[in-house]
Amino acid sequence: MSFGILLVTVGGSWDITNHLLNKPETFFSPPHALMYSGVAIALIGVVVSFVSWKNLKTSENIYSVPLKIQFIGIGLLSGAGPFDFVWHSNFGLDGLLSPPHLTLIFGMLLCSIGGMVGITRYLKSNNFLTFPRNYFLILAILPIWLAGSGVISSLSLPFSNTDYFQFNPDPFFAFIVATIAYPFLISFSMFMSSKLSGYRFGCVSILGGMFLLVYSSTAIVPNFALLDSIVFYSFNLIPFVASDILFSLKRPKLFILASGLLGSVFYMAYYPYVMYTFNEVLLGKLVSPSMIYFVYFEIIETVFYITLIPSIFSGIFGFFIAKKFSKKVLSMSA
């Protein structure tokens, strides 16, 4: 099921790029085909999980909550497809914050959370949370990170106005959401990966590398004007590896240091889309796809000074929430 959600999130990121590049948008576009193929796989995964759960009578309690979360999520995902088709049929182009997209994104998030909890509890109950099986947790946590990014992007990027609806978020609201939520999500996802894998070095680095691969392939590669910036984007792996080392040392103070570091690099990790959020407040320019790179670096210093402190604190807060959440996941109770 997590693989299905991963396909949905990849398709969603690709869809955002198509909106940005003003490519023809229909319900049957390639990104939509990828997304709803992922929905079908996720649906099959939920059915298999339910059947397996019914056959594990002695373990019903530990899987009941994640399955309930998955059922709600898959219900939203299944309803998002027909909803999106009707929306396109009546209004043509849909914005990022359209009701069908929100339904899809929240369904993705719930399915990915339920899947991660279920996978973790299965591995623990069978004593599989050891090397190398614990690396499977990366595939369970990555969809949460990507789906959460989709929620934040919908609430902060100015890609939601159409001929029929003006759904773009208020620029200052979007500024605050991006500054707080992105750092929180990065730190939360990374510490969850490290904690659930027993602080084994490598999990955080691989998770971060996979995130960068997905974002670069769906947000940078389709825009030929940004191809030369892939090397710059790959430098994000440095703070990810550094935080991986700090987490693996298992010292509380280093956990906080690593989380603050992860939070502080959100503007680089979410290149290039995040530029549009801060441009709305700092410059107010109309930025074409070919100018993204130049405007991004025009405001990077200002963004750094404004967001450094709040992003560090948000990253640290993400660590504390992840610490509590991981204990609940590992408690093996509903």
Q: How confident is the model at residue 23 (pLDDT cuts 50, 70, 90)?
A: low
Three-state SS at 129: coil
How many whole angstroms separate alpha carbon 234 and alpha carbon 229? Answer: 9
Which own/partner pairs from 226-234 qualify as long-range (CB within 8 Å, at least 24 positions apart)? 226/272, 226/292, 226/293, 228/293, 229/271, 229/272, 229/293, 232/271, 233/268, 233/271
> Can you give the pLDDT at residue 26?
54
How many whole angstroms separate alpha carbon 250 and alpha carbon 297? Answer: 36
Percent of the chain with pLDDT over 90: 47
Q: How confident is the model at residue 1 (pLDDT cuts 50, 70, 90)?
A: low
More confident residue, 212 or 105: 212
User: Which whole-number Å values give the CA distances from 92 to 25, 36, 42, 163, in the listed order?
Assistant: 8, 18, 27, 9
User: Does the pLDDT at position 146 exceed 80?
Assistant: yes
User: Does the pLDDT at position 21 exceed 60?
Assistant: no
> Can you give the pLDDT at residue 233?
96
Look-up of token digits 């700092």? 282
Q: How far is the first Cα of the chain from the last one, in angstroms, to the nearest whole number?
A: 20
> Can you give the pLDDT at residue 32?
64
> Can you give the pLDDT at residue 181?
98
Q: How confident is the model at residue 28 (pLDDT cuts 50, 70, 90)?
A: low
> Can you give the pLDDT at residue 316?
98
Q: Across residues 175-194, what is the average pLDDT? A: 97
Q: Across residues 59-64, what is the average pLDDT? A: 67
Name which of 154-168, 189-203, 206-220, 298-312 the model is least confident about: 154-168
The most confident of the ranges 1-10, 99-108, 270-279 is 270-279
- The pLDDT tens digits of the residues spanning 206-245 come to 999 999 999 998 889 888 889 999 999 999 999 999 999 9
> Can you give the pLDDT at residue 61?
66
More confident residue, 28 or 181: 181
Q: List, as one string, the DSSP characters of 53-121.
A: HHT-GGGHHHHHHHHHHHHHHHHHHHHHHHHHHHHHHHHSS--TT-HHHHHHHHHHHHHHHHHHHHHHH
Name which of 164-168, 177-181, 290-294 the model is least confident about: 164-168
More confident residue, 187 or 134: 187
> Can you give the pLDDT at residue 236?
97
Q: How confident is the model at residue 128 (pLDDT cuts 50, 70, 90)?
A: low
Is 98 within 8 Å of 92 (Cβ atoms)?
A: no
> Can you give the pLDDT at residue 130?
62
**Under 8 Å CB-to-CB from 246, ≥6 apart: which residues?**
254, 255, 257, 258, 261
> Can you give the pLDDT at residue 56?
57
Segments making up each domain of the chain, as ranges: 1-169, 175-334
Rounded to the nearest integer, the mean pLDDT of the chain is 85
- The pLDDT tens digits of the residues spanning 73-98 come to 888 988 887 888 888 788 777 777 88
Percent of the chain with pLDDT over 70: 81
User: Which whole-number Å values give the CA distances from 266 to 70, 204, 274, in the listed order?
Assistant: 29, 16, 9
User: Packing angle between helix 136-156 and helix 99-125, nearest 10 degrees?
Assistant: 160
Q: Buried b vs exposed e over 68-100: b needs ≥16 C-beta within 10 Å?
A: ebbbebbbbbbebbebbbebbeeeeebbbbbeb
How many whole angstroms separate alpha carbon 300 and alpha carbon 296? Answer: 6
In this prediction the pTM is: 0.88
> Can you give the pLDDT at residue 203?
92
Three-state SS at 1: coil
- The pLDDT tens digits of the residues spanning 260-316 come to 999 999 999 999 989 999 999 999 988 888 899 999 999 999 999 999 999 999 999
Name which of 25-34, 70-79, 177-186 the model is least confident about: 25-34
Q: Across residues 177-200, what is the average pLDDT? A: 96
> Can you give the pLDDT at residue 333?
52
